Structure 1
Amino acid sequence: MLRGLVAVLSIALTVFALADCVQTEDDKIRGIPKWAWIVLIVLLPWVGPITWLVVGKDRTGPAPKRPQRRGPSAPDEDPDFLRKLDEDIRRERRERGQNGSGEGPADPDTPRS
Structure 2
Amino acid sequence: MARGIIAVLSIALTVFALADCVQTEDDKTRGLPKWAWIVLIVLIPWVGPITWLFVGRERTLGGEQTRRTGPLAPDEDPDFLRQLDDDIRRERRKRREQEPGEGDGI
TM-score for both structures, normalised by structure 2: 0.60
Task: Report runs of 4+ in structure 1 exceeding 2 Å deviation.
Answer: 66-69
Q: Distance in 2 between matches of 1:65 and 1:12?
A: 30
User: How far does residue 3 in structure 1 lie from its aligned partner after superposition?
Assistant: 0.2
Whichever residue aligns with residue 63 of structure 1, its letter is Q
> 2:4 — aligned with what?
4
Match of residue 31 from structure 1: 31
CA distance in 2, matches of 1:43, 1:10: 12
The 2-side partners of 1:64 and 1:54 are apart by: 22
Aligned residue identity for 1:40: L
> Which of 1 and 2 has greater Rg?
1
1:90 alignment partner in structure 2 = none
| Residue 63 (structure 1) shift | 1.8
CA distance in structure 1 between the partners assigned to 2:50 and 2:7 by the alignment: 15
Which structure's relative contact order is higher, taking Cα pairs within 8 Å and 6+ residues apart? Answer: 2
**Please, which runs of 5 or more residues in structure 1 have no aligned partner?**
70-113
Post-superposition CA distance 1:57-76 (Å, at most 9, x none) = 0012732415578xxxxxxx
What are the equivalent positions in structure 2 for 1:14-53 lying under 5 Å apart? 14-53=14-53
1:6-60: CA deviations, max 9, x gaps?
0000000000000000000001000000000000000000000000000000012
* C-alpha RMSD of matched pairs (Å): 1.7
2:65 match: 63
Mind listing any 5+ residue stretches in structure 2 that lack a counterpart? 72-106
